Structure 1
Amino acid sequence: MVREKDACWEFCEKLDGNKVRCNFCDKILNGGISRLKHHLSRAPSKGVNPCAHVPDDVSDVVRSMVLSKEQRKEAAFPKRHRPLSSPTHQPVDVGRTIAEFFFENRLDFRAANSASYRRLAAALGGAAFRAPSPAALKSSWLETLKSEVKAKIAETECEWASTGCTIIADTCTDNKSRAWINFFVSSPSGTFFHKSVDASPSFKNSKRVSELFDSVILSVGPENVVQIIVDDAAGYLAVGGLVSHKHPSIFWSSCASRSLSSILEDFAKVEWVGRCIQRAQTATRFIYNNRWAMELAKRFTGGEEIVKTSFAKSVSSFLSLQSMVKQMARLKQMAASQEFSSSPSSDNLISYRCREVLEDGLFWGAAEEASAVAAPLLRVMREVSGSKPATGMIYEYMAKAKEAIRACYIMEEAKREVFLEIVEERWRRQLHSPLHAAAAYLNPSLQFNPESATLLSSVKEEFHAVVDKLLPSADLRQDITSQIFKFRKAQGMFGCNLARETRSTASPGTWWEQYGDSAPGLQRVASRVLSQVCSANVLDRACCGSHPAQPEKRNRLDRETFEDLLYVHYNLKAQSRARPPDSDPLVLEELDMGSEWVEDAEPGNSAQWLDHFIFVSSRQSTSNFIGPNDLLPFNL
């Protein structure tokens, strides 16, 4: 009998008819063993109340049985209009999910009036579900999400007293070519959007721009701010001087990722490297502008994308070149294949040039060499990009990168010096920071490594200057010399077995937090110095590289609503930025269909017009966030 095979019969007593009595709460249920399972699983369903006395282990087993059965049933007979459920069978808040989707992606609220939106909502929440209306999205849902974001940020702010924080200034433009500065605040617990300022009226006046920065510093708290990172150090040179003069304990730093991309940009200007990139682009433009070639390439490469898009043009170029080298054998096979030579376009000039590049051994030799010399810098960029603290490691990363470049040209001194001079020049002029020097000195993996003696000697003076800056009074610096001595000689907790064993495995900031109690003053400096990020690209450039237009001739309420929309949008983006562990942090998910690697300068193939149109539309921020006749994503 089926009843005897079902394991759940041991949890109940069979009564007359189709009734059962629960052994844990004595409740009598109509509907047999099926109703009992829902009762014991504690997942309310079909009007069954959860059992209040069932042990957790029994409930977990029964819940897994119910879920497994429903999944098999759904696979065999897919249902339409099934309300969303989580893997634990708890109902998902569909209204919230829809609202977050609108805000995170800057969608026009009027889309909630469409028939397709109503069908989508019914499919997600069921026929009786009432989806958020445009009015609810721009009022109650906006306030709800704003309050929740503020609450999460308040939790993050609690750590600033010990770790400090970094203000990040990201400059972008809207569709009216006005300059905006998006201010983010980053600390070990995360990065959040603080505010956005229209800097157009002040952009040519360094004093007025410095006042914008000053207002952000005051709102965050000068005592909490360790450094300010700007995405364009040269453009903010005078502003940085004014801010540093007013707030001498705050460091003004360049974006490490931007500086590294500038190094790669200079690499691409080396004649043979630039020529190699141009030839590679000749091949990829042909492939990406002809459907048959694109399908053939995907077949030979196993569906892997050839062209890569990153936050900077130079980074995209070297990532794409590396991608081609990785798939060199397959691309050669494609060019020599019968399918390629017999294609309708195989006889035209562009097809011939593409095949000529892919079959040219000299090209592939240059591509391999260019990829190898850029690889060390791309590795550094992966480590310092994003919101993880990296100040303590950037010196070590750059030292290893230069050694790797030397290794590429052991027998070719002239070539080696060309690339190393580029790196050194950018390092001295743009990337180097006293904060990075102090962080290197405080990094236990460097301080206790005999091979780092020369490096530590070169940064010692800057380390002391940073200590003076962060501990400006004699009272704060009291006993600091003896504390530095304890650290260098591994005395007190610095010398315990755990501290010694984790010098190179724990993050520098965590190491100081755990083992720095023997030197409390120096521990405070180390915690603040080692807890900072190095780059301004805390969000993908695709997320924050454009800015929606602000209302100009509307009332104060409109402007406040606009600011709230930005606040919720950017912070939802920051919270959802997590990538798969095996993904490349430098590669953007969306391919730039307008790049030199893809866009055809000659009359395009009609098969590609739709892809190009979709991309161009997606790059226009106002077409996503607002309607064609409105400056806000809703009608007021």
Structure 2
Amino acid sequence: MMETELEPMPIGALKRDVAWKHCQMFKFENRTRLKCIYCGKMFSGGGIHRIKEHLAGQKGNGATCPRVHPDVRRIMRQSLEGSIVKSRRKQKRPEDIQNRLLGTGEMETMITQSEAITGLQLLAAPDAGEPHLRLLAKEEEGMTNRRMIGRTGNTSSPPVTPHAHPTSNLTLGLPKGKDQVHMAIGRFLYDVGAPLDAVNSVYFQPMIDAIVSEGLGLKAPSYHDIRGWILKNSVEEVKGVVDQYKGTWAKTGCSILADEWTTETGRILIHFLVYCPEGTVFLKFVDASDIVRSPDVLYELLKNVVEEVGVQNVLQVITDSADHYIIAGKKLTDTFPTMYWTPCAARCINLMLEDFGKFEWINAILEHVKSMTRFIYNHVVVLNMMRKYTYGKDLIQPALTRSATDFTILQNMVNLKSNLQDMVTSQEWMDCPYSKKPEGLTMIDIIYSQSFWSSCSSIIHLTEPLLRVLRMVGSHKRPAMGYIYECMYRAKEAIKKEFVEKKDYLVYWNVIDQRWNKQLTRPLQAAGFYLNPKFFYSIEGDVHNEIMSGMLDCIERLVSEIKIQDKITKELSSYKNAVGDFGRKMAIRARNTMLPAEWWSTYGGGCPNLSRLAIRILNQTCSAVGFKQNEISFKQIHNVTRNQLEHQRLSDLVFVQYNLRLRQRLLRKNQELDAMDPISFDNIDTVENWITEKEAVTMENGSSDWMALDQPLANAMLAPSPNDEAYGLDAGFEDDEIFNGVRDEEENGRQ
């Protein structure tokens, strides 16, 4: 077999040397062979080290690669040099390191003899009775000098004062192994005040791996490195990713997201992001504190962003639904007649849930549950007992919004009903002093109240359909435009089935219709439904007029050329009747398995104009929320006295930070994270009402000793991933009452 016919083998995750990214691995005659990806040279021996020498241009062991990039060559040379140093260090016996453990007096003497610190090496005490451990860390150059002194007797090197590195006086009592590493990481995070969930970053472990690969003696980047060349390179790196996304906007179209939020100092910021199926990118932020309430100025701001992204690429601009945004959005679509303005679907659904929570009977149930969770989550003994009987599952689970969190927690309560009942009937609970307290007795009454659980069940049936819609529009797995219309239909259908009597379900339909009809429903959502083959071919009979009208409106607005509009109208007939490739058995099976845009890309070749429009519509989102807000100090950026050069540096820092976080959404889809702690400060914004006692917390019997608290089990709190596609409650879409809504107020009064 010729070399060119060999199939490359996958390179396993354990092969972490940097050179593995620059070669391919083959299997030939039971031997492993490596091939340089730049010049194509094949190596049959020497392993990855030979490839590294080849790329580094190190003479003596093989030919130098003539095509490798200079940056790659530099990295390979640095890696080879690091391997030599690492090899030398490994020759040291463990007892040699142990001999560096010195008493306090010896340490102070040694510090004055040319010892400089560039990193912290934590050493464990040989005797558990030793009162302190010193942190010994020595610069490689200093270590080399001492070795030379021992050999030559030369003592002319000037001493280094201990004041240059105050960390030399730190003391710790730590065991050997990874614990001392973890303690060092924790100490750094605590010292700089970093968010503790920083360890969940997808970039955290690669950082540790990179440090380990360089071995001991790696000098940390300086302050000026971080704010200088490293930030500059990061900006260019992120811009490269953004440019990749931009290259897809012409084909798939994109949505501009304007996410408004308020800082701690009261400044109103608008973050501008661009969504496409490849990923979401952050463009910029604007301090709109002085302009946001002016529709005309807001319009100019939105107009400038549309022009920056490219009018031909933008299908919609998504904002809040406040009056000034509505006015600015209408003016924007008048200026750009080939795009839409749409309010944020997630905010709209959240308002529906918020309105449901205002019903007296629902609010009463929520307050009962909150009284229980506040009691449980403020006492260690009770919380540990609850987690024991629920097998590590938590009652409190933060959701996308506050209102969604309320009803998600209620759902968790119902799911854990039997576990809670087992807990309050156990001998362990009877022996617990908190079971005799008023809060404990109240909790028992609630847990054994049949009317309470019956009301909870009704609330769940009422709100779960909307929670599913909210999860769907906030999902990172698929664009929501092809699903939201169907999801809203199924939500109203589920409520109708639950309450049966028209006078009962119309009360809640009115809440939905008020928000849906006045704020959310738009032609894009109707067209998304029409173009989703899974739903379209489930319709029996004629398509409802509202859906067809939305589809035709999108053709007229999103397609500027009249000739193309006419062609699309003709091609609609082929789609409706499943003519040509649309009627293939593969296409029919794929209606329920492929994403709608992918289905059109695969089977829509016979209707190129309609297919192009369908792909652009079906690749859009419906929401502008769900993106983690930036935590850079905006008061620094907006300080009018700040130097303009530093202002731009901080703006670039925001650009890098925000886009790296957006990138995480794609990278951590299938990543298993540590369980969220519902009583942590990180989640306080959405769950505060569920864990904060109304009265001041008193220290009773050590009940507030968090050190005695059992940690949440890994992902035990997280519910199974919901199916955010179709509900499948009933086939077809024939209920005209759902489509038409409640339009006659007099009819409502007669019910």
| TM-score bin, normalised by smaller chain | 0.7 to 0.9
Matched, 1:218 2:311: no
Q: Residue deviations 1:180-199, cap 9 Å, x none?
A: 00011010111111111110
Q: Residue deviations 1:340-362, cap 9 Å, x none?
A: 34333343333332332223222
Looking at structure 2, the residues matched to 24 and 303 of structure 1 have their Cα atoms a distance apart, in angstroms, of 49
2:661 corresponds in structure 1 to 573
Q: CA deviation at 1:466?
A: 1.2
Matched, 1:246 2:338: no
2:684 corresponds in structure 1 to 592
SS at match of 1:340: helix
SS at match of 2:394: coil
Matched, 1:169 2:169: no
Looking at structure 2, the residues matched to 609 and 124 of structure 1 have their Cα atoms a distance apart, in angstroms, of 40
2:490 corresponds in structure 1 to 400
Closer, same or farther: CA 24–431 of 1 in aligned 2, 3 Å: closer
Q: CA deviation at 1:263?
A: 1.4
Give the one of 499, 512, 515 matched to 2:600: 512
Matched, 1:227 2:313: no
Q: Which amino acid aligns with 2:252?
A: T
Q: Over alpha carbons, which structure has the higher Rg?
A: 2
Q: Residue deviations 1:246-269, cap 9 Å, x none?
A: 112221112222211111111111
Give the one of 431, 453, 476 matched to 2:564: 476
Looking at structure 2, the residues matched to 202 and 229 of structure 1 have their Cα atoms a distance apart, in angstroms, of 18
**Equivalent pair of 2:319/2:325 in contact (CA under 8 Å):** yes
Looking at structure 2, the residues matched to 390 and 521 of structure 1 have their Cα atoms a distance apart, in angstroms, of 22
Closer, same or farther: CA 359–225 of 1 in aligned 2, 3 Å: same
Normalised TM-score (structure 2): 0.63
1:529 corresponds in structure 2 to 617
Closer, same or farther: CA 444–564 of 1 in aligned 2, 3 Å: same
**Equivalent pair of 1:233/1:255 in contact (CA under 8 Å):** no
**Equivalent pair of 1:309/1:316 in contact (CA under 8 Å):** yes
Matched, 1:279 2:368: yes
Closer, same or farther: CA 456–441 of 1 in aligned 2, 3 Å: farther
Looking at structure 1, the residues matched to 471 and 50 of structure 2 have their Cα atoms a distance apart, in angstroms, of 44
Q: Residue deviations 1:458-485, cap 9 Å, x none?
A: 3111211111001123233243322222
Q: CA deviation at 1:51?
A: 10
Closer, same or farther: CA 290–250 of 1 in aligned 2, 3 Å: same
Runs of 4+ with deviation above 6 angstroms: 43-46, 49-53, 79-82, 118-124
Where in structure 2 are the equivalents of 1:191-340 lying within 5 Å? 191-234=280-323, 236-340=325-429
Where in structure 2 are the equivalents of 1:78-477 lying within 5 Å? 126-234=215-323, 236-387=325-476, 388-410=478-500, 412-451=501-540, 453=541, 455-477=543-565
SS at match of 1:401: helix
Closer, same or farther: CA 538–185 of 1 in aligned 2, 3 Å: farther
Give the one of 584, 596, 614 matched to 1:496: 584
Q: CA deviation at 1:545?
A: 8.6
Closer, same or farther: CA 126–81 of 1 in aligned 2, 3 Å: farther
2:634 corresponds in structure 1 to 548
1:29 corresponds in structure 2 to none
Looking at structure 1, the residues matched to 408 and 61 of structure 2 have their Cα atoms a distance apart, in angstroms, of 57
Q: CA deviation at 1:384?
A: 1.8
Closer, same or farther: CA 119–457 of 1 in aligned 2, 3 Å: closer
Looking at structure 1, the residues matched to 509 and 691 of structure 2 have their Cα atoms a distance apart, in angstroms, of 31
Q: Residue deviations 1:399-456, cap 9 Å, x none?
A: 222222222223x4433222222222222122211111111122222222233x4554
Closer, same or farther: CA 439–119 of 1 in aligned 2, 3 Å: closer
Looking at structure 2, the residues matched to 463 and 536 of structure 1 have their Cα atoms a distance apart, in angstroms, of 23
Looking at structure 1, the residues matched to 661 and 270 of structure 2 have their Cα atoms a distance apart, in angstroms, of 17
Unpaired runs of 5+ in structure 1?
Answer: 1-22, 26-36, 54-76, 83-97, 112-117, 612-636
Moved more, 175-184 or 513-522: 513-522
SS at match of 2:621: coil
**Equivalent pair of 2:400/2:626 in contact (CA under 8 Å):** no
Looking at structure 2, the residues matched to 252 and 478 of structure 1 have their Cα atoms a distance apart, in angstroms, of 25
Closer, same or farther: CA 480–119 of 1 in aligned 2, 3 Å: closer
**Equivalent pair of 2:522/2:550 in contact (CA under 8 Å):** no
Normalised TM-score (structure 1): 0.74
**Equivalent pair of 1:290/1:605 in contact (CA under 8 Å):** no
Q: Which amino acid aligns with 1:495?
A: G
Q: CA deviation at 1:592?
A: 2.4
Q: CA deviation at 1:24?
A: 7.8
Q: Residue deviations 1:570-591, cap 9 Å, x none?
A: 111011124454989xx99853
Looking at structure 2, the residues matched to 409 and 38 of structure 1 have their Cα atoms a distance apart, in angstroms, of 75
Q: CA deviation at 1:124?
A: 8.2
Moved more, 440-449 or 146-155: 440-449
Looking at structure 2, the residues matched to 120 and 139 of structure 1 have their Cα atoms a distance apart, in angstroms, of 23
1:69 corresponds in structure 2 to none
Q: Residue deviations 1:484-528, cap 9 Å, x none?
A: 222222223323333233222211111111222222222222111
Looking at structure 2, the residues matched to 338 and 405 of structure 1 have their Cα atoms a distance apart, in angstroms, of 41
Closer, same or farther: CA 610–243 of 1 in aligned 2, 3 Å: farther
Looking at structure 2, the residues matched to 523 and 605 of structure 1 have their Cα atoms a distance apart, in angstroms, of 65
Closer, same or farther: CA 581–362 of 1 in aligned 2, 3 Å: farther
Closer, same or farther: CA 386–122 of 1 in aligned 2, 3 Å: closer
SS at match of 2:634: coil
Q: Which amino acid aligns with 2:491?
A: A
Looking at structure 1, the residues matched to 449 and 671 of structure 2 have their Cα atoms a distance apart, in angstroms, of 32
Matched, 1:558 2:650: no
Matched, 1:604 2:697: yes
SS at match of 1:592: helix
SS at match of 2:689: coil
Looking at structure 1, the residues matched to 604 and 209 of structure 2 have their Cα atoms a distance apart, in angstroms, of 55
Q: Which amino acid aligns with 1:592?
A: I
Q: CA deviation at 1:609?
A: 9.1
Q: Which amino acid aligns with 1:402?
A: K
1:95 corresponds in structure 2 to none
Looking at structure 2, the residues matched to 212 and 588 of structure 1 have their Cα atoms a distance apart, in angstroms, of 40
Q: Which amino acid aligns with 1:499?
A: A
**Equivalent pair of 1:233/1:253 in contact (CA under 8 Å):** no
**Equivalent pair of 1:166/1:229 in contact (CA under 8 Å):** yes
**Equivalent pair of 1:172/1:546 in contact (CA under 8 Å):** no
SS at match of 1:345: helix
**Equivalent pair of 1:233/1:430 in contact (CA under 8 Å):** no
Looking at structure 1, the residues matched to 611 and 583 of structure 2 have their Cα atoms a distance apart, in angstroms, of 15
Count of residues paired in the alignment: 522
Looking at structure 2, the residues matched to 446 and 345 of structure 1 have their Cα atoms a distance apart, in angstroms, of 54
- The two structures, once aligned, show a CA RMSD in angstroms of 3.8
Closer, same or farther: CA 358–234 of 1 in aligned 2, 3 Å: farther
1:628 corresponds in structure 2 to none
